Structure formats: structure tokens, C-alpha cells
Structure 1
Amino acid sequence: MTGPNTTPDEATPERPADPFKPLGNETRLEILRVLYDHLQSTSREATLSYSTLRSEVGVTDKGNFNYHLRQLDGLFVERGSETEPTASTGSGTGSDTDTETTTDTNSSSNSHSPTSTDSSPDGYRLTFAGFEIAKVIDVDAWRSHEPCGPVVLDDPRENPVDTSANETDDGPTAQDPLTATYEDSVVEIRRGDDLLYAHAVRPTGAAARGMAVDELLDTASTLWRHTVEQLLKNICPYCHAPIERALEYTPDRRWEHAFSANCDECGSLGGSHVGIVAITHPEAIAFCWDHGLDLTSTRVWSLPFVDDDAVTVLSDEPRRVRLDITFETARLELVVSDDVRIVDTERVCRAER
């Protein structure tokens, strides 16, 4: 995909129409499984010889096996230095008698036809993409599950009451509570119908935690924190390409002061309230620690300054805001630029202003 600052010559190669098409076959999936099991029992660099791989996959027809192996070669499977001792392949000795060169009967002239045998210095292993696919298949990462929740969460706001006028003028009313659910592999934090936070937690990990919502919330908060850290470091959490961030004013949403992130490759990455930018800043971490709040472990939706009341608009063009982290005796003021960077900080005594 060509980004806004790239020329056609600098653009990345066009993606294949269906990169997962090679996986639509039981033999190829079994090849991945066998190589994955071998990797789990050895090391990342260890390879499996051709004859052992074919034997464990259980395909006797060499031509047929070579055809399927070639569909994976270079994308999900690669060849590397043979690190497995010959004896472990079942060949008996280093002078393996099965030394014939194997060729694909469907395309004998193909230069990528597998040629390694037990006595060859070359073997096969998973590429990183192959490992990722095999891992997801192995742990049944996105298995279905029953939803959990909703559960009502502690509210970080000092006054969770709406003091604005209501239709009946009966005085202030309680705002919608903060709730959490786990459904379709995603932990969601909502206030009423408004989605505030969402992060995937694979059902394998959720099941290992007994589908307990409290533990899932700790897990989701940690994952969200890591995602935010990547966004603030200009890294797409999915493809690791550079991203663009921007402050936004969204008066029609629960949070008016937010930021968005966008990746040329992956598109919109979503965003969050602008206050979340403080959770990785050393001055904010130290200030909160001095006042008894550990930013590194507190659930992100429990932070009192992730709220519009903590934000003051300093300018519109370019957009710049001030985020206040306030305790009884002191306040930390963080100035956030239009590209969502903290560009200035100041500690003040509350009595000063």
C-alpha cells in the first residue's frame, strides 16, 4: 500500500490476492503442525530433514508431498542449516541410504522443488508467519466461549452524578455505571451504551483463568497499556509500521477530548481519551507514585484523570491541550501537542492557583 509520503517506486510490493490460500489443504496444515511440534521440542533455529518431515506427515507419494511442500516454501516454511543429528531421523547412520534427489512430478524443472534428505545439510523449519499460524491453530486461540458479565466496576470519578439539567428538573441524576463484559474474545468497558475501552484476550488465556472477570480485567488492562505504549512510540501494534496520531475534539461522544491513531497498512487503529497519554510518561509516573498512585499497575479505566474534567484546551490551531493530574496538595500539568506528545510538564502547589 502506498502511503501519503511515498512515491510509486518506494511503495511496498502488491500483496497476494489470497495469502492464506496455501493453507487450504490438510496435508499442508499437517506439515505446519509437524514443524511446529519439532520447534517446540528443540529451538527456533532447528530444522527437520525432508525424509523425516515426509514420514511424520504420513505422505508416501513423494511427488504429491513435494507439491504441497512447495506451496508453503518461502511463505510459511523455509530451508535452513540442518541442526538435527542424523541418527534422530531414524536413518541409522550418517551415510543414509535414502540419498536420492526428490523432485516434484508436477513440475520437475521448478527450482524450488525440495531436494534435501536426511544426509543433506539442509532441512525445513517454520518462518515467523508459519509459526504464528501454527501457534493459533495449536492453541485453538479463537475458540467460542460463553459471554461473561456485565459486571459493575468501581467508578474513578469523584462525583459520578450528572448535575446538568434533566427533562423533569428533578435535580441531579446518577450517570450510567461503568461496566465490563467479555464476549467474542474481547473485554469491553462501557458507560451505558458508550464503548470506552476494548481489547482482545484470547479464549485460551481466559479459560486458563477460569473465565473470571476480575482476572480478565487485569489481563486486558495490561494488554491495553502495552498497546498504548506502542501507539505513543509511533508503532502499529499489528504490523509494526510507523503510524500517525492526532488530537480530536468529539463533542458528540462520551469523551470530547480524544486522540486517534492511523496506520497506512492497517487503517484506523482506534484511539482513546487524551488522558491516557500520561500512563507511560516518567514525570506522570513519578508524580502519581509520590502521591500513592501506581500508574504502572492501576487499571487504565480506574484513573481519575482520564476524563474531560481534567482537560483544558490551550489552542485550536494547532490543537494543544493541558492535562491536569490533581491530588489534594499538588497538581501536575502536562501539555499535549496536536500529534499527541507531552511537550511540557509543570508541578504546582494547588494553593498557587
Structure 2
Amino acid sequence: MDSEQVDDPSRNSQGPNSSASTVSPTTETARTERVSEPSDAFQALGNEIRMGILDTMLERTDGDGPSRVSFSTLFDESDVDTSAGFAYHLEQLVGLYLHHHDDGYELTYAGERIARAIATGTYTHRVDRPSVELEDPCPFCDRRELEARSSDNVVTIACGDCDRSLLRLGFPPAGVESHGDEFPAAFDRHHRHRLALAADGVCPDCSGDVSGRLVTPSADVADELPAEYDDHVQAEFSCHCCGIELRCPVTLAVLDHPAVVSFYHEHGEDLGDRPIWNVGHEWAETVLSEEPLAVRVVTELEEDVLALYVDEHVSVVDVQRSTDDG
């Protein structure tokens, strides 16, 4: 995806005889502070009383951010007999998970993140769900035999006719549980946004810096593809902070490009209405170069053709469009 950084510093246009001095802008860097060792951070959570404190704090967090809660309110919500014993557990959370102010306690960023993860069962629940039939045809055999199933918080989209697995990706337990039989649609939107973030250079897990590159598919993926996809390549996005890697067809990496969005809009269509496991048969990918890798992604609607040229870093470097009348 193309990215653009606009740098608009102040400029001094005074002539050489001007008495005014030129002040160079000061560049400040972010200050990173390690406030705890990972083992200490998770050890502080190993107590039901402290989990209850975080839960109470989360209940009092609204859309404007964490709210401050008094000691007495937190104590009254707990099952602890003495205030002294409760104060000990509360103090174990101060610093990393709670801020202590004169008028009460407030969740830190880490405190809110861990409290929400616990509340939604991210670390404590496993959801297995029977298969749900999908209306979309399989992009490989064109039979309407696709189904979605969830096992151990991993959703698989597979075809019952050609027996190919199209997608197998993790999905938070709350996503499967709360959406019922509509969980495949939620799964689609979830990973569509994750992929869009990664393609835009931001990690969907930690918000770290992400870089992209074109790669050949792994052996497992290659085995799932028909013979006509022997020269297929994928887009890979890697986070330099947490190390997560996302791989997908190059087509999926360019769906949010302005040229693609406007192209489909002009034809009265919205690609957001199509699931990521089948965005349409009108798409085609062609490898133009192997060293470095470069791919042309083409889509055609009503004899109107859009071609995007993608370089080795998964950046669209050129866009061409042609119609039947030239």
C-alpha cells in the first residue's frame, strides 16, 4: 500500500542581511521506561482479590476513559474482611495496573487492557462451535460447499466439495460466542481490519512498525493450491516489535487502495460486501519479476480493467486503467 509522510516544518525566508536569528527545531524522542519485569507483572495478577479489583475498576470505566474509584468503594465491592488486608492487595496493583491519586484509583493503560482481556475470556475461555454453512461459492471449485467452524478459538473456512482449507486464523472467544451463527461475518470484518492495518504499516496486535514483502507460499499453502497457481506469491507483513507475521494473497493487500475502492464504487459495488475468502473471480495476479519479486494485480468489471503494479515491498508503484473504448 502506498504511504505518504508529509513534513511541513516552519521556514525562515529572511534574507542574508537580516538580523533575526534562525532557530533550528528541536527533535524530541519518545522516552521508554521499563516499569516491571514480565514475571513480576504477571505474578501481581495471581490472586482472585486483585482480579476482583480490576473487574470493579473496569465496570466504572466509561467512554471518556478510566474513572477514579475511592478506596472505600473498592473495599466494599470485595469479599475481604479487613481493610488492611485489602490495602495490601490493592498496593500490589499500583504502579503497573493502577494509578493512585489523592481522590482514588485509576486504571493504567496496561490495567485496562488486561482487565478487558480477562472480562472477554481471551485467556480463560475456549469456544468450539459446529460448522456454519456459507452462501459464498468456493473460489477454487465454484461449488457452494463452504463452511466455517471454530475449534479452540481458531476459525477455519473450508470447502466440503474440494476439501480445501481457505483460511485458518485465530478469533477471540467473545467473537464466536457473542455473534452466534453470524460469527463468520464478524470473523471476516475482524481480519479485514487487521490486514488493512498491517498493510498500512501498523501492527494490529501491538501497533508497532510493520514492513511488507512479497514471498513464495509455504509448503502447506502450496499443497492447498490448484496446479495453475504454481507461480503464486503472497504478501507478508511482519511487525518489528512483537514479531507477528501475516500472510495473504496480494489481492487482499490492495483492496483498500483508493484506485480499487473508486473503481468498484463507479460500478456500484462495495468490496466490503464480499468476504476475504472470496472477493470475486474477476481478480487475477501475474508475477512480472522474480528478482526482485513484482506482481501485477488485475480486476475487470464490465470490460473496464484496473491494473495495479506491486513491488517487492507490497507497495503499489503504478496504476493503469483501460476500457473497451480505450
**TM-score normalised by L of structure 1:** 0.70
Name the SS of the counterpart of 1:66 in structure 2: helix
Question: What is the count of residue pairs matched by the alignment?
Answer: 283
CA pair 208-52 structure 1, distance change in 2 beyond 3 A: closer
Of residues 319, 322, 326, the one that matches 1:348 is: 322
Give 1:136-285 correspondences, 5 Å limit.
Answer: 136-141=117-122, 143-149=125-131, 151=133, 153-155=135-137, 157=139, 160=141, 178-191=146-159, 195-209=165-179, 211-212=180-181, 215-250=182-217, 252=219, 253=222, 254=225, 256-285=232-261
Give 1:59-74 correspondences, 5 Å limit.
Answer: 59-74=80-95
1:199 Cα shift? 4.2
Alignment partners' CA distance in 2, 1:201 and 1:249: 25
Name the SS of the counterpart of 1:312 in structure 2: strand
Aligned to 1:6: none
The AA in structure 2 aligned to 1:320 is A
Of residues 93, 106, 115, the one that matches 1:134 is: 115
1:346 Cα shift? 0.7
**TM-score normalised by L of structure 2:** 0.75
1:257 Cα shift? 1.6
Percent of aligned positions with the same letter in both sequences? Answer: 29
CA pair 268-52 structure 1, distance change in 2 beyond 3 A: closer
CA pair 18-45 structure 1, distance change in 2 beyond 3 A: closer
User: Per-residue displacement from partner, 1:236-288 (whole Å, max 9, x unpaired)?
Assistant: 11110001211012274136221112123322322111110221111111112
Larger Rg: 1
CA pair 244-193 structure 1, distance change in 2 beyond 3 A: farther
The AA in structure 2 aligned to 1:46 is S
1:318 Cα shift? 1.9
Give the unaligned 5+ runs of structure 1.
1-9, 81-120, 162-173
Alignment partners' CA distance in 1, 2:60 and 2:32: 37
User: Per-residue displacement from partner, 1:76-111 (whole Å, max 9, x unpaired)?
Assistant: 11124xxxxxxxxxxxxxxxxxxxxxxxxxxxxxxx
User: Per-residue displacement from partner, 1:156-203 (whole Å, max 9, x unpaired)?
Assistant: 64x737xxxxxxxxxxxx8x9544222222332235665433444444
Name the SS of the counterpart of 1:280 in structure 2: coil
Give the unaligned 5+ runs of structure 2.
1-30
User: Per-residue displacement from partner, 1:134-153 (whole Å, max 9, x unpaired)?
Assistant: 22333445633342216365
Of residues 101, 119, 123, the one that matches 2:104 is: 123
CA pair 152-122 structure 1, distance change in 2 beyond 3 A: closer
CA pair 251-57 structure 1, distance change in 2 beyond 3 A: closer
CA pair 152-296 structure 1, distance change in 2 beyond 3 A: closer
Instruction: Judge conservation of contact 1:147–1:184 (CA < 8 Å) in 2.
Output: no
4+ residue runs of structure 1 moved beyond 6 angstroms?
Answer: none
Aligned to 1:31: 53
Aligned to 2:44: 22
CA pair 58-11 structure 1, distance change in 2 beyond 3 A: closer
